[in-house]
Amino acid sequence: MNTMNATGINAATTEGGQTADATEDRPYGPTRGQPFADEAKFKLRDVSVYYGDTAAIKKVSLDVARNEVISFIGPSGCGKSTFLRTLNRMNDSIDGCRVEGQLTLDGDDIYSDSRDVVELRARVGMVFQKPNPFPKSIYDNVAYGPRIHGLANRKSELDDIVERSLRGAGLWEEVKDRLDSPATGFSGGQQQRLCIARAIAVSPEVVLMDEPCSALDPIATAKVEELISELSESYTIVIVTHSMQQAARVSDRTAYFHLGHLVEVDETNQVFTSPQHELTESYITGRFG
Ligand SMILES: Nc1ncnc2c1ncn2[C@@H]1O[C@H](COP(=O)(O)OP(=O)(O)OP(=O)(O)O)[C@@H](O)[C@H]1O
Ligand SMILES: [Mg+2]
């Protein structure tokens, strides 16, 4: 049984986060908080991810709600990036990586044999930790996706998409006179916003971000966070972050992972002010991680 003590911490937890309600599948007990949503964009059930014989993600069940911003937090190596990559099959290219469980996007199986992975990645875009612009001009970076997906019939249409995406990424004013300059000549923060512009140029429904600000200074980070808040009006955003302040600032819900298990997920405010699991509490108070 779980009983809440005066501090709101789950009194059933014991040393090392093992709980009275532990099972073999869930040594830390069932996922605490609110893993499920009424309007699910992704429905993920009993998802396990293996590298060879080793499970990096263990029986995780979670909904990602439409148009929410959800943060994944947890100690290094707990499986945040691995789990994020399952959402658009970025792990397909990793040798020996295998995904089990049910994963659906708008009700359709993400891993079915008939799934068009190129189309999936156009709907579920990704921004990486290190800005990775192509060695091309600003214009060609943003136009790349729309060109391969045939989203523009005329040059003027492509120009419009490029401008709209750069505006959406908060970069237009800084680069509008230098669209033909190589992207690699811009600052790290500008390059990261360019990568966000490139991701949104194909009108995705979801944007996955794996520590998008870890290589940026506080000013560039603030710009990207502002951008995430603006994008959240139109997109579903899943962001991995090591910064608890960032999770608190940008996300509606926060999910805490530990050694491949989803220990707790709830409204961000709830997770940071009264976490239910001892492990979550230890992490957010800086006792480990
Ligand atoms: N390509 C791979 N091959 C084998 N094992 C891997 C591979 N990628 C990750 N792992 C293992 O899977 C586990 C989860 O790794 P993952 O990168 O998902 O963690 P993370 O939470 O994103 O960590 P970090 O915060 O350091 O980025 C780790 O034990 C890691 O060593
Ligand atoms: Mg990672």
Domain with residue 217: its CATH number is 3.40.50.300
Query: How far does residue 199's CA lie from ligand 2's centre (Å)?
Result: 19
Residue 162 beta carbon below 6 angstroms from any ligand 1 atom: no
Contacts of 116 (CB under 8 A, 6+ apart): none
User: Does any domain span residue 126?
Assistant: yes
Residue 261 beta carbon below 6 angstroms from any ligand 1 atom: no
**What b/e sequence results for 106-130 when a residue is b if at least 16 CB atoms lie within 10 Å of its CB, and e otherwise?**
eeeebbeeeeeeeebbbebbbbbee
Query: How far does residue 244's CA lie from ligand 2's centre (Å)?
Result: 15
Total domains present in the chain:
1
C-beta separation of 256 from 272 below 8 A: no
Sign for the CA dihedral angle at 121, 127, 133, 136 comes to positive
Residue 76 beta carbon below 6 angstroms from any ligand 1 atom: yes
> How close are the terminal C-alpha atoms of the chain, in Å?
28
How far does Cα 37 stand from its chain's mean position?
17
- HSE-CB at 254 with a 13 A cutoff on CA atoms is 27
User: Does any domain span residue 214?
Assistant: yes
Q: Tens digit of pLDDT per residue, the chain (289 long)?
A: 344 444 444 445 555 666 778 999 899 999 999 999 999 999 999 999 999 999 999 999 999 999 999 999 999 999 999 999 999 999 999 999 999 999 999 999 999 999 999 999 999 999 999 999 999 999 999 999 999 999 999 999 999 999 999 999 889 999 999 999 999 999 999 999 999 999 999 999 999 999 999 888 888 899 889 989 988 999 999 999 999 999 999 999 999 999 999 999 999 999 999 999 999 999 999 876 5
The model's pTM: 0.91
Give the ligand whose atoms come closest to the C-alpha of residue 74. Answer: 1
Closest to 262 in 3D by CA, of 15, 33, 1, 14: 33
How far does Cα 207 stand from its chain's mean position?
7
> What number of other Cβ atoms are within 10 A of residue 271's Cβ?
29
User: Does any domain span residue 227?
Assistant: yes
Query: How far does residue 130's CA lie from ligand 2's centre (Å)?
Result: 12
Query: How far does residue 282's CA lie from ligand 1's centre (Å)?
Result: 21
User: Does any domain span residue 87?
Assistant: yes
Nearest CA to ligand 1 atom 24: 76
Rg (CA), the chain: 20
Q: Which domain holds residue 168?
A: 20-284
Residue 188 beta carbon below 6 angstroms from any ligand 1 atom: no
Nearest CA to ligand 1 atom 3: 51
C-beta separation of 275 from 284 below 8 A: yes
User: Does any domain span residue 13?
Assistant: no
pLDDT tens, residue by residue, 27-75 = 999 999 999 999 999 999 999 999 999 999 999 999 999 999 999 999 9
Task: Return residues with CB closer than 5 A to ligand 2 (ion).
Answer: 81
Give the ligand whose atoms come closest to the C-alpha of residue 255. Answer: 1
Residue 86 beta carbon below 6 angstroms from any ligand 1 atom: no
User: Does any domain span residue 92?
Assistant: yes
pLDDT at 6: 42
Q: Which residue among 72, 80, 82 is best mutated to probe the pocket of ligand 1, counting the most ligand atoms within 8 A of its Cβ?
A: 82
Residue 125 beta carbon below 6 angstroms from any ligand 1 atom: no
Alpha helices of the chain — where are they, by DSSP H? 80-86, 117-123, 138-148, 155-168, 172-175, 188-200, 218-231, 244-250, 268-273, 278-284
User: Does any domain span residue 1?
Assistant: no
Nearest CA to ligand 1 atom 2: 51
User: Does any domain span residue 6?
Assistant: no
C-beta separation of 189 from 226 below 8 A: no
Residue 78 beta carbon below 6 angstroms from any ligand 1 atom: yes
